[in-house]
Amino acid sequence: MSRWILRGLKKGIITSRFPKGKPETISPWSTLPVYNAGTYEECPADAIHKNEVDLRKCISCGRCSPGFTPSLNENNSIILNSQKSLRKSLKIYVVDSGSCGACNSELHALGNPYYDMNRLGIFFVNTPKQADAIFVIGVLSERMKEVVREAYDIMAEPKLVFAMGACPASGSILGKSLSGILDADVIIGGCPPDPFVILDAIIKARGGV
């Protein structure tokens, strides 16, 4: 972050060219771990199966791997269960069902001048009545189930459901997953996902730029 601030002071604010160009950088805490049997310890999130790491559950503790490989691998970090046409504009309503704040910070970073999601017709809204997509972040407690369901029910069709981060995607480490309450159209793995990964998921889910 400090590198971007210094660059901004020297050259002015430079908005990313993504998705027309490759991401300039991807944060290591949200990228694809490489399973290393020699350093493997018991996975606290139950994210390793058949020597493969499931990024939907991975919390990037680093026990299975000494390093991480930057990746926008949609087969692992982004899972699309359906695709709806919302290309012209996409309005997002966020439900924080009990996050640590990490996913919240990464998601709302999309509104800053560096990522500038507004240039792609993507906006945050303050009510589900105006939203095309609902983002659920954080562990899902019993008391939040009804809140999430009510927010979804008052949204107009067509509408998308995003489960963002390991917590709503799998229930790691505490709480419950979104499954059984709403069917997620998009699952974004990572703890937390990088803004470029989130932006990539939104673009793919709405059917392109």
User: Domain segments of the chain: what residues?
Assistant: 1-209
**d(Cα 165, Cα 194) in Å, to the nearest integer?**
10
Model pTM score = 0.77
Secondary structure (DSSP) of 87-98: -S-EEEEEEESS
What percent of the chain stands above pLDDT 70? 68
Q: Mind listing the pLDDT tens digit for each residue in 157-204?
A: 888 899 888 888 775 434 455 767 888 888 887 788 889 989 988 988
pLDDT of amino acid 174:
40
* Sites in the chain below the pLDDT cut of 70: 1-13, 28-41, 51, 55, 62, 65-87, 171-177, 179, 208-209
pLDDT of amino acid 159:
87
The H-assigned helical ranges of 113-186 are 142-153, 166-170
- Amino acid occupying residue 88: K
Sheet holding 133-137, edge to edge: 78-80, 186-188, 160-164, 133-137, 90-96, 122-124
CATH class of 1-209: alpha beta
pLDDT of amino acid 173:
38
**d(Cα 80, Cα 162) in Å, to the nearest integer?**
10
Counting DSSP H helices and E strands in the chain, the numbers are: 5, 10
* CB-based contact 3:10 (threshold 8 Å): no
pLDDT of amino acid 117:
93
